[in-house]
A and B are shown apart, each in its own frame.
Chain A
Amino acid sequence: MKLTKLAIAAGVTGVCVAGAAHAATLDDVKARGQLRCGINTGIPGFAFTDQQGNWQGFDVALCKAVGAAIFGEPKVEYVSLTGKTRFTALASGEVDMLSRNTTWTYSRDTDLKLDFAGVNYYDGQGFIVPKALGVTSAMELDGATVCIQTGTTTELNLADFFRANDMSYEPVPIETETEAKEKFLANACDVYTTDASGLAATRSSYPNPKDYVILPEIISKEPLGPAVRHGDNDWGDIVRWTLNALIVAEEKGVTAENVKDMASAPGDDPEVNRLLGTEGEYGSMMGLDKDWAVNAIAATGNYGEIFDAYLGPDTDIGLERGLNALYTDGGILYSPPFR
């Protein structure tokens, strides 16, 4: 009996040796000289490579901001992860944080031992179909073949939605966005489902985006946010407050352009002063430099600038702010006070 247990454990240790869970992630990151950030394998707007081959995007920007908050400049190594590999990569210490359109759910927070450091995009699951199909509502999808990315909450919502509405469907599990696109465009599935933002993003990369329509039903709540390992609260604080700094910067009108000027001398708004390190010792509370938030904002711009650059109406993706507008503009984006 003991021997069997021993053998089993021996077999699995290979997986774990890399995953020595250190409490002080910040020290590891500093010693390594760069942040390892887990991102998507490629989804327009959120994580994609530009013409120079550098990673860009809404989720990538958060990695940059955290990297800049720690090092003064965005020193980040990007690790692209599929929906299936992301949590193992984080739990094993292969990446320091995930910024990979990941839905914050109860069981991921508790059972999977992740810590979500906030929400950077409030999303919901939708469906996209070819216009030629003539479908106008998700309620007409009985019997359809549906492509889904496996290992996601989408998969579970989909099962619940069809079950609740007493409809049948044929799930086609797909590993990555690219394969999903190939199958969907070849008509090997009638419907593709993922978060509505992802649908808009992926539609922009189709040869004829106008031939596809996103159905009006949003069947779930998908608060997407960055995640870190459970157990290192100090590290979680850094990611959480970097995200909050970007949000509060938009609220206070701090941009990539004016942040250096505003940080050169204390201004009239005490919260801005605390954010930019011209008042008090707020950076050292997290073990970072005084000007951590200045560096983060300078590297990527504030939340609004990031959104406009990668997802906003002027981009190919063309998403409205919607729920993701500041609470002062009718959205639900809200940072706790810097105090």
Chain B
Amino acid sequence: MTVAASTETPAFRIEMLWRDERYRSGFIQAITMMILMLAVAWLVNNAVENLAALGKTFDFGFLWQPANYDINQRLIDYTSRSTNARAALVGILNTLLIAVMGCVTATVIGILAGVARLSKNWLVAKLMTLYVETFRNIPVLIWILLTAAIVNTALPAPATYRGLETGPVVVTNRGIYIPTPNFGDGSLVLLIIFALSVAAILMVRAWANRRQEATGEQTPMLWIGLGLLVVPSLIGYILLGAPITLTYPELKGFNFQGGIQLRDSLIALWVALSLYTGAFIAEIVRAGILSVSHGQSEAAYALGLRPNRAMNLVILPQALRVIVPPLISQFLNLTKNSSLAIAVGYMDATGTLGGITLNQTGREMECILLLMGFYLIVSLLISAVMNLYNERVRLVER
């Protein structure tokens, strides 16, 4: 009887909140949460009061007003009469362009440098060490400004080409001009032929893989692939009477016209971001390769694989599991670092929405919020895609 009474929960008393282990943890968390919420409420209240005191309203209507300024690099139609929202979109596309270009080249540079840093060739290894250490230890803004200064001062101005014969590609301090393709009658047919060739290559490759698994015999895919890629398109090109032509850039007036211009700002930003992020990726790749136990490469060599094939077939696939997660962070960093674009006059989202639009309309709060939202969404998307890839290369445990 008395025993049963002692196991009954004793009546709740207030001091049990901090004396009794059963309640203490929850109580402390609740207090912390309350303090946090009070702090947030104070900050919000402060913002609201100060905005009101400045007489500023919170209003996104400016997005549909004409932007009134011009943007040099636009991937979609845009004039100074377009809306601020469209200007922001032009900037967003420019950001995405530099982010994609940068991520691709940074990955290529990073893998090459990372593998080369492990090379047995002393000179190559030391040169790569030098590259990695100089690039990742100097702020990226400095690299961007440096590359821009080099492009602007070391390359010739368009006027120096006056009277000279220029080829398909022209390099100037305002950018690199490449030929514009013109799609005439029959280009569609040619493009379809090309797409079919690519599909054929994929099918042959699948067949070659099956054949290798079944018989162990290898098919010379490189030559078959190249042949399939080039020959049908070439024949089609000649039969259709050269439907795709190229317009070469020509110096007309102040600038080269007729070609596609890769602007100096784009090049400077692209080169600097790629080299900078590439240095970090090189270290990630090196760490990934070193994480694969030495026994794996020895086993691969014992099976008779050449060092190249051992790297491609045995070591890199295992290293990828270590490489991919930190690689995501580097892609995110590159994308976010591209917001330094305005330093070289590249009109990215920060330059349009967070720069000129913000300045000309005075809507700091709205513009910065939209900009934060944009970078957040892009970063989350990159993370999501890379995480999917990570799932695929992950070690499947049985």
* A interface residues with partner B (beta carbon < 8 Å): 6, 8-17, 19-21, 83-84, 87-88, 91, 107-108, 111-113, 132-133, 141-145, 150-151, 155-156, 158-160, 162-163, 169-175, 182-183, 186-190, 229-231
Cα–Cα, bound, A231→B55 (Å): 8
Cα–Cα, bound, A51→B130 (Å): 40
Q: Do B153 and A186 touch across chains, with their CB atoms under 8 A apart?
A: yes
Per-residue A-contact encoding for B48-65, CB less than 8 Å = 1, 0 else: 101101111000000000
Q: Do A17 and B347 touch across chains, with their CB atoms under 8 A apart?
A: no
Cα–Cα, bound, A9→B264 (Å): 39
Taking CB as reference atom, which chain B residue is nearest A5? Answer: B44
Taking CB as reference atom, which chain A residue is nearest B360? Answer: A156
Q: Do A15 and B80 touch across chains, with their CB atoms under 8 A apart?
A: no
- Of the four ranges (under 10, 10 to 19, 20 to 34, 35 or more), the interface on chain B belongs to 35 or more
Q: Do B253 and A113 touch across chains, with their CB atoms under 8 A apart?
A: no
Q: Do B152 and A17 touch across chains, with their CB atoms under 8 A apart?
A: no
**CB-defined contacts of B369 to chain A, threshold 8 Å:** 8, 11-12
Give residues of chain B (353-374) contacting chain A, Cβ–Cβ below 8 Å.
Answer: 355-356, 359-362, 364-365, 368-369, 372
Q: Do A175 and B252 touch across chains, with their CB atoms under 8 A apart?
A: no
Cα–Cα, bound, A159→B360 (Å): 13
Q: Which of A9, A83, A141, A187 contacts B173 (CB 8 A)?
A: A187
Cα–Cα, bound, A190→B342 (Å): 20
Whether a CB of chain A sits under 8 angstroms from the CB of B71 is yes
Least CB distance from B353 to A in Å reads 13
**CB-defined contacts of A163 to chain B, threshold 8 Å:** 79-81
Whether a CB of chain A sits under 8 angstroms from the CB of B343 is yes
Q: Do B72 and A172 touch across chains, with their CB atoms under 8 A apart?
A: yes
**CB-defined contacts of B286 to chain A, threshold 8 Å:** none
Q: Do A182 and B362 touch across chains, with their CB atoms under 8 A apart?
A: no
Whether a CB of chain A sits under 8 angstroms from the CB of B171 is no
Whether a CB of chain A sits under 8 angstroms from the CB of B70 is yes
Q: Do B159 and A187 touch across chains, with their CB atoms under 8 A apart?
A: yes
Q: Do B72 and A10 touch across chains, with their CB atoms under 8 A apart?
A: no
Cα–Cα, bound, A175→B69 (Å): 15
Whether a CB of chain A sits under 8 angstroms from the CB of B181 is no
The answer to whether A15 and B368 touch (CB under 8 A), given A87-B359, A169-B70, A171-B72, is yes
Known: A150-B359, A159-B70, A229-B54. 10 other contacts (CB 8 A): A15-B364, A111-B361, A143-B257, A144-B253, A151-B360, A156-B360, A159-B69, A159-B80, A160-B80, A189-B174
Q: Do B365 and A188 touch across chains, with their CB atoms under 8 A apart?
A: no
Cα–Cα, bound, A171→B72 (Å): 6
Q: Do A9 and B254 touch across chains, with their CB atoms under 8 A apart?
A: no
Q: Do B70 and A19 touch across chains, with their CB atoms under 8 A apart?
A: no
**CB-defined contacts of A84 to chain B, threshold 8 Å:** 355, 359
The answer to whether A16 and B174 touch (CB under 8 A), given A163-B80, A182-B149, A188-B157, is no
Taking CB as reference atom, which chain B residue is nearest A231? Answer: B55
The answer to whether A173 and B359 touch (CB under 8 A), given A9-B48, A12-B47, A13-B44, is no
Whether a CB of chain A sits under 8 angstroms from the CB of B26 is no
Q: Do B43 and A87 touch across chains, with their CB atoms under 8 A apart?
A: no
Cα–Cα, bound, A188→B369 (Å): 34
Taking CB as reference atom, which chain B residue is nearest A20? Answer: B50
Q: Do A172 and B359 touch across chains, with their CB atoms under 8 A apart?
A: no
Cα–Cα, bound, A60→B359 (Å): 23
**CB-defined contacts of B257 to chain A, threshold 8 Å:** 143
Q: Which of B46, B79, B252, B355 contacts A16 (CB 8 A)?
A: B46
Cα–Cα, bound, A186→B254 (Å): 15
**CB-defined contacts of A132 to chain B, threshold 8 Å:** 159
The answer to whether A12 and B253 touch (CB under 8 A), given A21-B54, A171-B71, is no
**CB-defined contacts of A188 to chain B, threshold 8 Å:** 152, 157, 173-174, 264
**CB-defined contacts of B43 to chain A, threshold 8 Å:** 9-10, 13-14, 17
Whether a CB of chain A sits under 8 angstroms from the CB of B345 is yes
Cα–Cα, bound, A12→B80 (Å): 30
Q: Do B51 and A172 touch across chains, with their CB atoms under 8 A apart?
A: no
Cα–Cα, bound, A219→B220 (Å): 68
* B interface residues with partner A (beta carbon < 8 Å): 40-41, 43-44, 46-48, 50-51, 53-56, 68-72, 79-81, 149, 152-153, 157, 159, 173-174, 252-255, 257, 264-265, 342-343, 345, 347, 351, 355-356, 359-362, 364-365, 368-369, 372
Q: Do B80 and A145 touch across chains, with their CB atoms under 8 A apart?
A: no
Taking CB as reference atom, which chain A residue is nearest B346? Answer: A173
The answer to whether A16 and B51 touch (CB under 8 A), given A145-B174, A187-B173, is yes
Can you report 15 A-B residue pairs in the complex whose CB atoms are below 8 A from each other? A6-B40, A6-B41, A10-B40, A10-B44, A13-B47, A14-B43, A16-B50, A17-B43, A17-B47, A91-B54, A143-B253, A159-B70, A160-B68, A163-B79, A170-B255
Closest CB pairs A-B (n = 4) = A187-B157, A13-B43, A151-B359, A159-B80
**CB-defined contacts of B365 to chain A, threshold 8 Å:** 12, 15
Q: Which of A6, A174, A229 contacts B345 (CB 8 A)?
A: A174
Least CB distance from A325 to B in Å reads 32
Taking CB as reference atom, which chain B residue is nearest A88? Answer: B364
The answer to whether A111 and B362 touch (CB under 8 A), given A16-B51, A175-B342, is yes
Cα–Cα, bound, A20→B49 (Å): 9
Q: Do B343 and A175 touch across chains, with their CB atoms under 8 A apart?
A: yes
Cα–Cα, bound, A119→B381 (Å): 50
**CB-defined contacts of A91 to chain B, threshold 8 Å:** 54, 364
Q: Do B50 and A112 touch across chains, with their CB atoms under 8 A apart?
A: no
**CB-defined contacts of A190 to chain B, threshold 8 Å:** 254
Q: Do B372 and A11 touch across chains, with their CB atoms under 8 A apart?
A: yes
Q: Do B342 and A143 touch across chains, with their CB atoms under 8 A apart?
A: no
**CB-defined contacts of A15 to chain B, threshold 8 Å:** 47, 364-365, 368
Taking CB as reference atom, which chain A residue is nearest B366? Answer: A12
Cα–Cα, bound, A15→B48 (Å): 12
**CB-defined contacts of A17 to chain B, threshold 8 Å:** 43, 46-47, 50
Least CB distance from A310 to B in Å reads 27
Q: Do A150 and B355 touch across chains, with their CB atoms under 8 A apart?
A: yes
Q: Do A113 and B55 touch across chains, with their CB atoms under 8 A apart?
A: yes
Q: Do A113 and B254 touch across chains, with their CB atoms under 8 A apart?
A: no
Q: Which of B159, B253, B351, B364 contacts A142 (CB 8 A)?
A: B253
Least CB distance from A283 to B in Å reads 29
Cα–Cα, bound, A9→B42 (Å): 11
Taking CB as reference atom, which chain A residue is nearest B157? Answer: A187
**CB-defined contacts of B71 to chain A, threshold 8 Å:** 171
Cα–Cα, bound, A230→B369 (Å): 24
**CB-defined contacts of B360 to chain A, threshold 8 Å:** 107, 151, 155-156
Cα–Cα, bound, A11→B351 (Å): 21
Cα–Cα, bound, A146→B81 (Å): 19
Q: Do B70 and A112 touch across chains, with their CB atoms under 8 A apart?
A: no
Taking CB as reference atom, which chain B residue is nearest A156? Answer: B68
Least CB distance from A151 to B in Å reads 4
**CB-defined contacts of B55 to chain A, threshold 8 Å:** 113, 230-231
